Every structure is written in C-alpha cells, then in structure tokens.
Structure 1
Amino acid sequence: MSADASLTPSARWTIVLSGGILMGLSLGIRHTQGLFMQPVTSGHGWSLETFGLALALQNLVWGLAQPVTGLMADRYGSGKVLCLGILAYGLGLYLMAQARGPVGFTAANGVLIGIALSGTAFGTVYGALSRIFEPRLRNWALAVAGAIGGLGQFCLVPFVQRLLAEAGWRNAAIVLGLLVLASLPLAVPLRARLRETQRGVPDLPVGASIREAMRRRGFWLLNLGFFACGFQLAFIATHLPAYLLEHGLSLAQAGTALALIALANIFGTYACGRSAGRWRIKHLLAGLYAVRVAAMLLFLAIPATAASAYAFALVMGFLWLGTAPMTNELVLRMFGLRYIATLFGIVFLGHQVGGFFGVWLGAWVYDRMHSYEWLWIGSIAIGCVAAAAHWLIDDSPLVASDGPGLRVVRS
C-alpha cells in the first residue's frame, strides 16, 4: 500500500502547506540577506567583503551540512531534523543581532544559520514529501509546496524592508528569529516514515549507495550543473541590490526587484515541478539554464533602468528555484527513494559551493575593481556549461540485476 493511501485530501493539503510555509520562511529570510548588507556594513563600518564572507560561508556550511542532515532525515525521520533546524535558525538570527564584531557575526550568520538552512529548506522538505506521497501525487506535492514557499519569500521582502526602515537591522533580525520559532508546529505533519523498498531498486547500505552514485558520470554532471545554479542565485540575490544602487536606482526599487524575483518564483517553481512529470527532466534543466544565460546577456546589453531591472527579475524569478524539485526528482529516478535526502544533499553541496563563490567573489571583486562586470560574465559562462552538462547526463535508473551486482537500465 502506498505511503499516502490513508491520507484524506485535507491531510494531504496540511502536509503540503506545512512544507511550503517552512520553506517560505527559511528561504525567504535567506532571500532578504541582500537588504541587510548596506545597513549592517555601514552600521559597523565594515567592508562589503566582510559581510560577503559571512554570507558566502553560510552557503558553504549549508552545503556541507546538507548530506549530514539528509542522512539524519533518511534514518530518523524528517520531523526531528526540521525541529532542530528551526531552533538553530531562531538562535542564529538572535546571535546575529547581538554580534559586535566580524567573528561573532560570521559564526551566527555564516555557520549557525548555514546549518539551520540544511535542516529547514528544500533538501529536507522535498525529501519528506517524496516519502509521504506516492509517485502519482509526488510532482503535485513538490510543485505546490514550492509555489507556497515562493509566496512566502515574496511576502517576506516588503515585510523585511519595513522592519529595516522602522526598527533597524538588529531588531529586524530578532523579529525574524521569533517568526521562525513560531513555525515549530509545522514540522509535525512532515514526520515521514520510511517507505517500503521500491520494486527493482537495490536496497543498499548508505555507504554503498553513495559509492554507486559516485561511479556514475551523470551524478557528477548533475553536481556541476547545480554548482552553476548556486553561483548564479547567490550572486544575484546578494549583489543585485548593490548593482542597481550603483546604476542610480533607489533602495526601494532594488527591494522591488527582489520581491518580483520571489513573486515570479511562485509560478516558476510550480510550473517546473509539474513539468517534471511530463518531459525529460535533464532536457528541461538544460533549457532552463540556457534561458537564464539569454536573460543575463540581454540585461547587460541594455541600460539599467527600473523597467529593465523589473523585467530581468521576473524572468530570473520564474527560473529561480524550479531547479530544486526537478533535481530532486532526477536524483530519485536515477538512484531510488531509500536515501533520497542523502544523495540530494550531496548534489546540493555542489550548489552551495557555487553559492559560496557567487557571494564571496562578488564582494571580493567589487571591493577591488568597483564593478560587477566580471561576475556577470562568469555567471553567463558557467550557465552555458550547466546547460551542456545537463544535456549530457545519463539519467537511466539504477536497478538490481538478476545476478550479483547492479545494472543501469538504458532509456
């Protein structure tokens, strides 16, 4: 019997809403970090590189912790991991507000919040939903939860803007921490049980599963593509406000651009999640990266105005986090469900290594060259690489053979 066969429609919606709201809070607060950059650096008298290093470390720690939290979720259940992640997130935001020097700020915003994100964002939530819902409803669950998460991100941008204007960045961080802690009950519906082993899929120990995945060239190509995704998103989310301010736009207009990214992400994540059940995922991902490249080239080719910034934000937002449910589904199809959170966590590490370089290099290059031009060029170049890498992925599933060992079913 399927894992969700006994769930009523209202119970299914409760689970999906809980996952979506948790992702909206977790990723929404992360999405607004660019709005904190100017008040934090000016208030402390720090360089952009100091703030950028903390945020870059957050991306790296998030990625390094994701395979560990994924393994914990696979073994002990997603609900426990989500609870721990929520508590760590609230504490990290509080300590970030209390920090007086770069070391304390980096430890809170970089290390603790990075760990918290690994336990509260899509790596854990999508793993839980993949276990709870049977294949015929899985794409729907991931798509709807992703869209709800995008809606949460969209709502948080103006909320954080107002908090920063009226209460200052320290109080804004504390309020956000309390908001995260208030979401603790939402982890309860996501207590996913281990599903039965899929028919024909080898039930290997976790170490053997990881080794088998790492023998596949497609696994490494998927990592390479997700590296590009992390680089692009972290660079744009963190540095787009500063880039627009440099070109004469106001902070309000920069905030509107971030809000439009989050707004378009609602529809883009849903569309990408639903498309994963209809077309070959590796081709969808290759096309997504190609369109991102075209959008960046056009954005750089025309004058930076409010209209061009908003149009760019809408296009990029539609393509923003749609990679996550499609990548999760591609890993599941290639390697099965048993260690989905663990294997997706390893792929996600590549995403976060890219995010580290996207944030830190953006600040490092700007502090020395007073221009973001080379970072845009780099984002375009690795986008081309990502499109090619996804097209070349062998997405055939790994199955148990009739004799000893494993075999790959060629599609």
Structure 2
Amino acid sequence: MIAFWRTPFYVLIGAVVILAIANGSRQNFGLFLVPLSADLGWGRTEFSFAIAVQNLVLGLGAPFIAAIADKWGLIRVMAITGVIYAAGVWLISVSTTPELMLLNAGLVVGLGAAGIGFSLPLALVGRVASETQRSLWLGITTAGASAGQFMFAPLSQGLISGYGWSQGMVIVSVIVAITIPLSLSLRAGSAETLVRQTPQSLSQALAEASGHRGYWLLVTGFFVCGFQVQFIATHLPGFITDAGGAPWLPAGALATIGLFNLAGTLGSGWLGGRFSKKYLLSLLYLMRAVLFLVFLQFPVTETSVLIFSAVLGVLWLSTVPLTSGIVAQVFGARYMATLFSIVLLGHQLGSFCGVWLGGLFYDRTGSYDATWWLAIVLGVAAALIHWPINDKPIEREVAQPT
C-alpha cells in the first residue's frame, strides 16, 4: 500500500495549502495601504506603485522561473521561491522609504511570488492529475487561493489593529515560511508523474505555442483579469473607507470575495470539464463588466458592498482553472509551468496597470471612477477576445514506454 504522502492526492492538498498562504497573504496587502501610508506620511501612490511593480515582477519573472523549474524540478524551485517570498514580506516591515518599499514589496516579494504564488503549484497539480480530473483539480487548487484570501482578510485586519502594520507584516512572513517545508514534502507524491511525458523539448513547446493564435488571445484576455482583480484587491478597501464605510467593512469585503470564490473556482473547474472553457470565460468576463456597472449605480452601503463582494467572489479567480485548463488541454501538461507562466505574464501586466492607475488616478482626481469604467470596458473586450479561441488539443507523437 502506497503511503498517503506519496500519492497525487497529497500533492493536491499540499498545493491547496501553499496557494492559500501565498496568494491569500498577497491578495490582502491592500488592507495595509491606508494605515501604512498614513503612518509613513505618504500618499497612496507610493505603496500602490510598489505593489504594482510586485505584480509586474511576478509576471516578468514567472516564465523564467517556470522554465528553470521545468528543467531543475518544480519542488526545488517552489521551496527556493518560498524562502524569497517570506524574506520579502518581512523586509516590508522595515521599509520606511519609498525606495526601500519599492525594492522589498516590489522586487523581492514579486520574485518569490513568481514561483510559489500561483503558476508552479498549479503546474504541479496539472501534471499529477489525470486528464479526466484535471479541470476539477485545478479548480480545487485555485479554491485554495480563495480560501487563503478569506482567511487572511480578518487575520491581516486583526494584526494591523492589534500590532500595527509593521509587526503585522512580520507575523505574516512567519506564516508564509510554512510553504518552504510543505513544498519539499511534495517531492515523493509527484516523482513518478513528472517523467510520464512527451519527447517534446521546451524550445519546441515554446515555438508551438508562439505560433498558436489562441495562445496569444489567452494572454491578452488574462491581462484583463489581472487588471480587474488587483485593482479591486488593492483599492477596494480605500474606496470603501472614502465612502464612509465601517472600519470592518474593507476586510469584510475581501473576506466575502474569498469565501464566495471557493464556490466559484470549484464550480468553474467542474463546469470546465463538461462545457467549453472558452465560452465560459467569455461569460465570466461579461458578467464582471455588468457587475461593476451595476455597483456604480448604487450608494456604497454595507449591504451593497457585501452583495457586490459575494457576486464578484463567484467570478473572482474562476478564470484561473479555465485559462490554465485550456493551456493544458491544447498543449499538454509537460511544459504547463512555462506556458501558463507566459499567460500569467499577461495577467500581471494587467495587475500592474490596475494597481498603479488606480492609485495614480485617485491622487490626481480624488476618485476611482476612471479606473472603474476602464475595468468595465476591458471586461467587455475580454468577453469578445475569448470567443474565437481554437481550443482543440494539438496532436503530436507520444513517447513510448521502454
């Protein structure tokens, strides 16, 4: 009988916990924006720009880190980037100048998150899951990120209230460090599956994907996801505070998004195994645009914010199992880490724009209105972009067992 920790199911559970910690902590940095900026005497542009750069570094670094992982091993690189991410979060606590904040919150955290934050855990699950299970397992893994957002929202708010933003970051960094030994523990459960692959080389896989029109449509569409998600994750707390919301409401909104996205990501993973993923993506982006439009028509109250957050939660990261699922469906799982990381680059370029423009427009106009409307227009565009994607699997020679 195979020990549980040597099974693919253990890999799934481990990846879920890793994403819960890595993504949950990062998605709640927006709660630190107002107290951090007030304590250091900054506007909202300085920390917003550092977080924007973090998303940019994550996106630019992810393909290179994934390529290294595809060559040297996913487990090893996940552990190393876990160390970098935990160190970066701790360094935020001692960053008292815009330059230090840009270096630590932007560059160091961004490099760590490029590995441990999303693409590598997803790629690992994509490899160990069977074709019939893959869409659902990717949905379950993404749900871990949502669970983390739900758990870290009240935790981060409690740490800020009880210890201040700086000590709060130190405690978060200790929690993040759990991902290091956990990553290493997944080695046995993934060892056999990592070698059951096609004879295709990484350079051949990149050439194949670069010549596929649908691949670049995925990259473009994921830009919109990043813009919308990071704009809201970073600036929704400030938007609610400016509107006179109760002190608990910003964290409550982010927690609600994370809670409802548990159902959203599980549901999208399940639906992706039964219906066309590209059409589901078109529907998701269109629903986001409609939701933003409706939200702007009503006063900001506890009721309107929580309803908005609940509906958005269903749509929040539901794009991830569908997008990563299309990559694996079309190109196979062997180089999923690298190929999905390039798609993730589009997401993070969008994240950079969403976070930075949100802070820039606010400091110049005193309002987030322009960024909200831009998010609406981009949502409609993304719905149209995904519709013509060719998502049929590419047929190629499969390695014969020896």
Residue 282 of structure 2: aligned partner: 286
Could you tell me which of 295, 299, 310 is aligned with 2:295? 299
Residue 378 of structure 1: aligned partner: 374
Could you tell me which of 223, 226, 230 is aligned with 1:227? 223
CA deviations on 1:158-188 (whole Å, 9 max, x unpaired) are: 1111100010111011111111113322113
- 1:390-409 correspondence to structure 2 within 5 Å: 390-400=386-396
Could you tell me which of 130, 133, 141 is aligned with 1:134? 130
- Percentage of matched positions with identical amino acids: 35
Q: 1:209 to 1:7 in 2, by over 3 A?
A: farther
Aligned residue identity for 1:245? T
Cα distance in 1 for residues equivalent to 2:216 and 2:8: 34
Cα distance in 2 for residues equivalent to 1:251 and 1:350: 34
Could you tell me which of 23, 39, 60 is aligned with 2:19? 23
- 1:230-309 correspondence to structure 2 within 5 Å: 230-309=226-305
CA contact (8 A) 2:16 2:145 kept: yes
Cα distance in 2 for residues equivalent to 1:316 and 1:153: 13
Cα distance in 1 for residues equivalent to 2:276 and 2:5: 29
Deviates more, 1:181-190 or 1:157-166: 181-190
Residue 72 of structure 1: aligned partner: 68
- 1:4-403 correspondence to structure 2 within 5 Å: 11-191=7-187, 192-193=190-191, 194-198=194-198, 203-400=199-396
Cα distance in 1 for residues equivalent to 2:89 and 2:5: 36
Superposition deviation, residue 291 in structure 1: 0.8
Cα distance in 2 for residues equivalent to 1:321 and 1:39: 27
Superposition deviation, residue 7 in structure 1: 7.4
CA contact (8 A) 1:18 1:186 kept: yes
Deviates more, 1:210-219 or 1:60-69: 210-219
CA contact (8 A) 2:146 2:262 kept: yes
Cα distance in 1 for residues equivalent to 2:42 and 2:88: 20
Structure 2 unaligned blocks of 5 or more: none
Cα distance in 1 for residues equivalent to 2:275 and 2:259: 25
Cα distance in 1 for residues equivalent to 2:251 and 2:373: 23
- State the TM-score, normalized to the length of structure 1: 0.92
Cα distance in 2 for residues equivalent to 1:68 and 1:396: 27
Superposition deviation, residue 266 in structure 1: 1.1
Q: 1:215 to 1:7 in 2, by over 3 A?
A: farther
Cα distance in 2 for residues equivalent to 1:182 and 1:55: 23
Cα distance in 1 for residues equivalent to 2:261 and 2:322: 14
CA contact (8 A) 2:268 2:321 kept: yes
Paired residue secondary structure (2:93):
helix
Cα distance in 2 for residues equivalent to 1:146 and 1:216: 26
CA contact (8 A) 1:241 1:251 kept: no
Deviates more, 1:352-361 or 1:142-151: 142-151
CA contact (8 A) 2:213 2:389 kept: yes
Cα distance in 2 for residues equivalent to 1:190 and 1:139: 20
CA contact (8 A) 2:149 2:254 kept: no
Cα distance in 1 for residues equivalent to 2:223 and 2:61: 16
CA deviations on 1:269-300 (whole Å, 9 max, x unpaired) are: 11111111111110111111011111111101
Deviates more, 1:205-214 or 1:264-273: 205-214
CA contact (8 A) 2:5 2:186 kept: no
Paired residue secondary structure (2:181):
helix
Superposition deviation, residue 6 in structure 1: 6.4
CA contact (8 A) 2:134 2:325 kept: no
Superposition deviation, residue 8 in structure 1: 5.5
Cα distance in 1 for residues equivalent to 2:142 and 2:290: 24
Residue 406 of structure 1: aligned partner: none
Q: 1:344 to 1:6 in 2, by over 3 A?
A: farther
Paired residue secondary structure (2:197):
coil
Superposition deviation, residue 351 in structure 1: 0.3
- State the TM-score, normalized to the length of structure 2: 0.94
Superposition deviation, residue 15 in structure 1: 1.9
Aligned residue identity for 1:172? G
Cα distance in 1 for residues equivalent to 2:239 and 2:145: 26
Paired residue secondary structure (2:395):
strand
Cα distance in 2 for residues equivalent to 1:140 and 1:293: 26
Paired residue secondary structure (1:400):
coil
Q: 1:190 to 1:10 in 2, by over 3 A?
A: closer
Superposition deviation, residue 31 in structure 1: 1.3
CA deviations on 1:206-242 (whole Å, 9 max, x unpaired) are: 2232122111211111111100000000101111111
Superposition deviation, residue 140 in structure 1: 3.3
Aligned length: 394
Cα distance in 2 for residues equivalent to 1:172 and 1:311: 29
